[in-house]
Homo-oligomer: A and B are copies of this chain.
Amino acid sequence: MTDTVHIGDVPFGPSHFTTIAGPCAVESREMALQTALAVQAAGARVLRAGVFKPRSSPRSFQGLGTRALDILHEVKATTGMPVVTELTDVRRLEEVADIADAVQVGARNMHNYALLTELGRTELPVLLKRGLSATVDELLLAAEYVLCEGNERVILCERGIRTFESAYRFTLDVAAVAVLHERTHLPVVVDPSHAAGRRALVLPLSLAAVAVGADGLLVEVHPAPHLALCDGDQALRTDEFAAYQRQVQRLGAFIRGCEAEVDGLVPETELESA
Contacts and interface: CB of A to CB of B under 8 A. Distances in A.
Given A109-B111, A212-B208, A163 B167 contact: no
A269 interface: no
28 contacts: A58-B148, A59-B144, A88-B113, A88-B114, A89-B90, A91-B114, A108-B111, A131-B132, A132-B132, A135-B165, A161-B165, A163-B164, A163-B171, A167-B175, A167-B176, A168-B175, A168-B179, A171-B173, A174-B174, A177-B204, A178-B200, A204-B213, A207-B213, A210-B211, A237-B271, A244-B266, A246-B265, A254-B254
B174 A208 contact: yes
Interface residues of A, number: 83
Contact of A135 (B141, B166, B195): B166
A112 B113 contact: no
Contact of A164 (B112, B133, B205, B243): B133
A31 interface: no
A191 to B, nearest CB: 13
A91 B88 contact: no
A33 interface: no
A136 interface: yes
A246 to B, nearest CB: 8
Interface string A226-259: 1000000000010110011011001100110010
Given A56-B141, A58-B144, A200-B182, A247 B274 contact: no
